[in-house]
Amino acid sequence: MIARDEYGAYKCEEGQLYDQKNAERLKIQRENHTDTSWKEQQTLKKNRRKNRRPS
């Protein structure tokens, strides 16, 4: 069973970050204070798609 942590990174059962590359990326994002959760990113994407359509 693979779950996501609050940063949207995959975690395995032991709670370790599942993907090492993803862990590195998230570490850099946290340092730069640019991290948004996976859910927020999906919402932003969805809203961008919505706003692109002419009314």
**Per-residue pLDDT, 13:** 52
The ranges assigned to domains in the chain are: 3-52
**Per-residue pLDDT, 7:** 57
pLDDT per residue as tens digits for the range 6-49: 655 555 555 454 566 777 777 777 776 655 676 777 788 888 88
**Per-residue pLDDT, 1:** 46
- pTM of the model as a whole: 0.28
Amino acid making up residue 37? S
**Per-residue pLDDT, 41:** 78
